[in-house]
Amino acid sequence: MLREYQEGLLLSARSFQSGILDTTYENVLEHIDSGIMLFDEEGVLSFINNQMYGILELKRHALVGCTFLNLLTHIQLSRFRKRRLLSIYRETVYKGKQSHEFADEFGRYWRVTVSSGEKMNGHYLFVIKEISDYKLIEQTAYQNDNLAMLGKLSASIAHEIRNPLTAIRGFIQLLRPHLHQLGKDEYAKIILAEIDRANDIIHEFLTSSKPSVPQVGVIPVSVLLKEVVLLTESEALMKGCEIHLHPFSDELNISVDVKQMKQVILNIIRNAMEAIPERDDEYIGKVEIGARRNGAEVRIFISDNGKGMDICTLDRLFDPFFTTKENGTGLGLSVSDRIIKNHGGCITVNSRVNEGTSFIISLPLIQ
């Protein structure tokens, strides 16, 4: 079907070249769900359809007869669109690629297909189509594969490592009185602490594979957030950050597993503090926390004025094993996302490079 579609476009292009474009073909090209531009051998635009005008965010103008350079200097074309067109030209015409994929400023994915060569008599036919739905399916399949692999890995780790660690910990506790008599009790403390840390890592793998069923209880959002802020204030002070909890008058109650919900919020706050760069000027890192009611939902927001994230990072933010930290596991946000979904909620993220990041956790409101 795709081949027939492309052949139809090529047939239409040949009709343009010969000057005998049929009205039926013109109507088809005007109303298909792809943007189309046709440039002749001199680089002059000979046809552009309505969909392409919409993609370029231009009103219907007499662009036919313009060169590619005229299009790049069009007064009503945004700077982002000009850069994108130039990138498409570089990847397709200059480098000779038949297709090129990119993401726009709104996170939508597009594919550009170029037809040229002898059959086109020197003409260039550009076809642009949004492929966000296909990308979403592809990413979902990729994530499911990762989760399946993660489950097998977690089970293997739990079986091969956890049992020996438990035995080691037991023997160290038996030897601890003897080490204390020798004045080496700190060795036992270090060994036990490292064993516990290894167990925590294993537990994180297991949780990311299959988070436990929430043990829910009703709690006011204000109480939950105050407790989390108390847990992070000292850490924020050490990193030179300020944590500001916005007051809210509404009595907002949620039914959640308090331990799991604290884990999610603490993880996001710590990520926010790590995203705030260290500076010598008067710049002060801030983490803003608050909540508000939105219909039948409670929305908890956590925002920072850190370095922000680009679109590529945002697209993979909740993927297992994806991390931008040197010592990160890439599991924190993946686990957090699954915990929130298990509570019937969702997490959304807004971020811009050098402007900061804002997480919004939406949960059902308990009346």
Q: Is residue 100 a contact partner of residue 112, using CB atoms and an 8 Å limit?
A: yes
pTM of the model: 0.48
CATH architecture of the domain covering 217-364 = 2-Layer Sandwich (3.30)
Helix axes 221-238, 258-275, angle to 10 degrees: 40
How many CB atoms neighbour CB 319 within 10 A? 17
State residue 250's pLDDT score.
Answer: 67
- The contacts found for 278-282 with CB under 8 angstroms, 24 or more apart, are 278/240
pLDDT digits (tens, 9 = 90+) for 64-80: 778 878 777 777 777 88
Give the separation between CA 254 and CA 362, rounded to whole angstroms: 11
State residue 298's pLDDT score.
Answer: 92
pLDDT digits (tens, 9 = 90+) for 321-364: 777 776 666 677 888 888 888 888 999 999 888 888 999 999 99
Residue spans of the chain under pLDDT 50: 1-2, 17-21
Q: Closest by alpha carbon to 78, among 99, 97, 106, 47? A: 106
Pairing of strands 297-304, 356-364: antiparallel
Q: Is residue 221 a contact partner of residue 198, using CB atoms and an 8 Å limit?
A: no
Name the region of 333 (left: φ>0; alpha: ψ -120 to 50; beta: rest): alpha
In three-state form (DSSP H/G/I as H, E/B as E, the rest C), the secondary structure along 239-256 is CCEEEEECCCCCCCEEEE
Beta strands in the chain (DSSP E): 35-39, 45-48, 99-103, 109-115, 124-130, 217-220, 241-245, 253-256, 285-294, 297-304, 346-352, 356-364
Which residue ranges make up each domain of the chain? 2-130, 136-209, 217-364
State residue 20's pLDDT score.
Answer: 43
State residue 5's pLDDT score.
Answer: 52
State residue 207's pLDDT score.
Answer: 61
- What is 2-130's CATH topology? Beta-Lactamase (3.30.450)
* DSSP helix/strand/coil, 63: coil
pLDDT digits (tens, 9 = 90+) for 23-66: 666 777 777 778 888 888 888 888 888 888 888 877 766 677 78
Give the separation between CA 261 and CA 221, rounded to whole angstroms: 11
State residue 17's pLDDT score.
Answer: 47
